[in-house]
Structure 1
Amino acid sequence: MSSPTARHFVLTTLLVVALVAFGYYALQPVREVCELSSEPYGSTFDPSSIKASGTGGCGEERTRLMTWFKG
């Protein structure tokens, strides 16, 4: 069995790596999806629902963390 000091070091290292990975993932920029409306004859794209942005994508660019809080 490993010593308590070695086990503590490994667990602390794993915790730090997990927190860094989660922070990296949560702070990635994402865009809200374009809205599609469902009509009787299928889905249609509604260009009036698009918010203009500099890169031409749909929706506002925010971090994943902010999308989790704002829903």
Structure 2
Amino acid sequence: MRFIALLILVIPGFLAAWGIKLMRDMLFQILQPPFPFLWLQFITGLLLLIGGVWFIAGFVLYRDRKNKKAGVK
């Protein structure tokens, strides 16, 4: 069961890391192949980063609430 939970967290983690890479490449003027514009690459990277962090934070908060360890109700 813990292995499945780890897989659930690794996939959004990789997406968030890829989002950081896309934003970094935009700052250094490196255009990646699937994107025609630098600004589109940056927006996609930002969305991937926000989505990945949001998913991981929600997963951890849900797990802590279930185990009655979270301070937020």
TM-score, normalisation: structure 2: 0.40
Larger Rg: 1
Higher relative helix content: 2
